[in-house]
Amino acid sequence: MTPFTIAIDGPAAAGKGTISKAVAAHFGFAHLDTGLLYRAVGARMLTGTEPVQAAQTLTAADLQSDQLRTPEVAQAASKVAVIPEVRAALIEFQRAFARRAGGAVLDGRDIGTVICPDAEAKLFVTASAQVRAERRFLELQAKDDTTTRAQVLADVIERDARDSERATAPLKPAADAVIIDTSDLSIEAAIQAAIAAVTPRMELRT
């Protein structure tokens, strides 16, 4: 099969990870959560490794850590993601994955704008800061985390600002991306909206 890339971008807790996995499963494509690359670099930074070195020496094992979903690592990931040398070290890995035979779904912050600007299908999954903060708060509560709603909302707003205002590859929809706002959608409805947006692009290639 000719390579077919689906780029899915969006802010934290908008649902893009869940949607991306479901879209990949639906079309039989490989899936890469590119945020894990930055989380892994951030996690290694927290243990004392210099960020650029961490990015250049990243291994598949680093992506398997159970600690990559903590709020501390999320903040660290957002901080290392503004470092141009870190981004450069990770770009080729992502682009090679995107053009693999059999199709690929990549989700992140700059897939449709920087990593794969020529992707055959592009989606931008978003939701209001309040909705995303509530989702993240409930996730943390399930893990007996003591973080408050106010703290989670502040973290979401801070990360949004850092991601969208950074000089290198800021978070924004690609000009030709389909916008999916999940604020008032069930996950099932959001997944169906994503599949419906990609299907016509797939049909153009067959």
Give the annotated binding-site residues for ATP.
10-18
Instruction: In whole angstroms, give the CA distance from residue 19 to residue 55.
Output: 26
Instruction: In whole angstroms, give the CA distance from residue 3 to residue 61.
Output: 26
List Cβ neighbours of 36 (8 Å cut-off, separation of 6 or more): 63, 68
Binding positions are: 10-18
Amino acid in position 76: A
Helix (H) or strand (E) holding 180: strand 178-181
Instruction: In whole angstroms, give the CA distance from residue 77 to residue 35.
Output: 8
- CA neighbor of 117 nearest in space, from 67, 70, 174, 170: 174
Residue bearing tokens 């989700």: 107
